[in-house]
Amino acid sequence: MRSGCKLLLLALLQGLLLLTTPLFAQQTLSIPPDSPRWELEQNAKVADYQGRQSLMLDGGAATLKDFEMRDGVIDVDIATPAKRGFFGIQFRIANDGANGEWVYLRQHKSGLPDAMQYTPILNTGANWQIYNGPGFTGSVEIPRDVWFHLRLEVTGAQAKLYVSDMDKPALVMTDLKSGVQKGQVALYVLTGATYFSNFEVRTTPDAPWERHLPPMPIGTLTKWDISPSYDALARNLERPLTTSESSAIQWQQVEAEPPGFVVLYRYREAPHLQVTFQGDFSKRLDPQPGTKVLYARTTIESDRDQVKKLDIGYSDEVSVFLNGRILYRGRSAQGFRDPGFLGIVNPENDAVYLPLKKGSNELLLAISELGGGWGFICRLEDYKQ
């Protein structure tokens, strides 16, 4: 009798567990190019290519309507006759496209270390100048004018991109940076005619959300206050802020993310302007209407009067002020230092020697942005903030 009661109780508990545990319903969608499920934007249309009905994108997007994905697998065939371009998949798109993730290939970089790249989209801006190297860029051969396959596997805070070879990932994204955990899916081409067919998306059970952050190097300046953004051409960026100007600013406290970047698109909307010197190197000193600037300040405590080296990386221009005095003005924009310069941000971009006084010192940066990722990183030798 007692044994029968135990069995009955166990059966009841199992039934209760089934009732209270949500069941995952896997969803697989195969969406043909002419489906009304696609929202076609800009230069996107249905076209026949090499005997296949396809979506043709060239400076446009095809967004899957009435669908959001957290974790899942996206498969698609691609062919591109373009010699130059940027094409790929956007996922976890949120806030009407302002935020999300983007992984893309560059035909003109085939076989080079940055033939493909992952970047988060933050406040409408891509951040490819900030996020580079392992987990963000990689080499892959990109076939031209023949069909090949892409697969994107999204799992928690990580993702893998497969190109042609479905057994070995071409790019492993160890830490997705946007922070968006669920959103829309889109095919996107910045430029260069590209055709897509055999699109399929399959949702998978949600994996644990585990960040894989790099360490924060010693000497990194992590605690900052930032100002609102301003029209850079309306300000004298070689003049420090006066005491009254600084007092009138509503400063926002932010912290650098490992390995030390302050990613300003997280806090301010990205500017979108046509930079004139991208096609004409002789114009690199011309004013660029639409350039934005903000100020960032921090305090450095020094136990004596001394000179310390500050390693600084930034996008795209910087003025460095210490205790109300300008020490440096630099530019690190794409195409500025030479026509092939990409403007990748790292702490070795430049170095400034700071004449610190004993006690508190105010370090003030004026950071200007043209595009590609607004941010900076500062490391002060032998210093702990």
**pLDDT tens-digit series, residues 271-300:** 999 898 888 899 888 999 999 999 999 999
Average pLDDT over residues 26-51: 96
- Whether residue 49 is predicted with pLDDT greater than 70 in this model: the reply is yes
- Whether residue 265 is predicted with pLDDT greater than 60 in this model: the reply is yes
Distance, in Å, from the CA atom of 158 to the CA atom of 135, rounded to the nearest integer, reads: 10
Q: What is the pLDDT of residues 154-195, one digit of tens each?
A: 999 999 999 999 999 999 999 999 999 999 999 999 999 999
Identify the pLDDT of residue 6.
42
Identify the pLDDT of residue 22.
47
**DSSP 3-state of 12:** helix
Average pLDDT over residues 314-337: 96
- In the structure, what pLDDT confidence band is assigned to residue 374 with cuts at 50, 70 and 90? very high
Identify the pLDDT of residue 15.
45
Identify the pLDDT of residue 384.
83
* Whether the Cβ atoms of residue 190 and residue 41 lie closer than 8 Å to each other: no
What DSSP string describes 122-145?
ETTEE-TTTS-STTTEE-----SS
Average pLDDT over residues 62-68: 97
Average pLDDT over residues 379-383: 92
Distance, in Å, from the CA atom of 102 to the CA atom of 50, rounded to the nearest integer, reads: 27
**DSSP 3-state of 106:** coil
- Whether residue 202 is predicted with pLDDT greater than 50 in this model: the reply is yes
Q: Which residue has the tokens 């959300």?
A: 209
* Whether the Cβ atoms of residue 130 and residue 315 lie closer than 8 Å to each other: yes
What DSSP string describes 253-303?
EEEPBTTTBEEGGGTSPPP----GGGS-GGGTTS--TT-EEEEEEEEEEES
Identify the pLDDT of residue 324.
97
Q: Cα angle at 196 between 144 and 88, to 5 degrees?
A: 75
- Whether residue 2 is predicted with pLDDT greater than 50 in this model: the reply is no
* Whether the Cβ atoms of residue 194 and residue 227 lie closer than 8 Å to each other: no
Q: Which residue has the tokens 């990194």?
A: 220
Identify the pLDDT of residue 135.
96
Identify the pLDDT of residue 385.
80
Average pLDDT over residues 301-321: 97
Identify the pLDDT of residue 277.
86
Identify the pLDDT of residue 26.
83
Residue 197 CA to its chain's centroid (Å): 26
Q: What is the pLDDT of residues 340-351, one digit of tens each?
A: 999 999 999 999
**DSSP 3-state of 100:** strand
Q: Which amino acid is at 22?
A: P
Q: What is the pLDDT of residues 204-258, one digit of tens each?
A: 999 999 999 999 999 999 999 999 999 999 999 999 999 999 999 999 999 999 9
The predicted model scores a pTM of 0.90
Q: What is the pLDDT of residues 105-162, one digit of tens each?
A: 999 999 999 999 999 999 999 999 999 999 999 999 999 999 999 999 999 999 999 9
Distance, in Å, from the CA atom of 311 to the CA atom of 329, rounded to the nearest integer, reads: 14
- In the structure, what pLDDT confidence band is assigned to residue 23 with cuts at 50, 70 and 90? low
Rounded mean pLDDT of the chain?
Answer: 93
- In the structure, what pLDDT confidence band is assigned to residue 24 with cuts at 50, 70 and 90? low
* 10 vs 278, higher pLDDT: 278
- Which token pair is 145? 């004018």
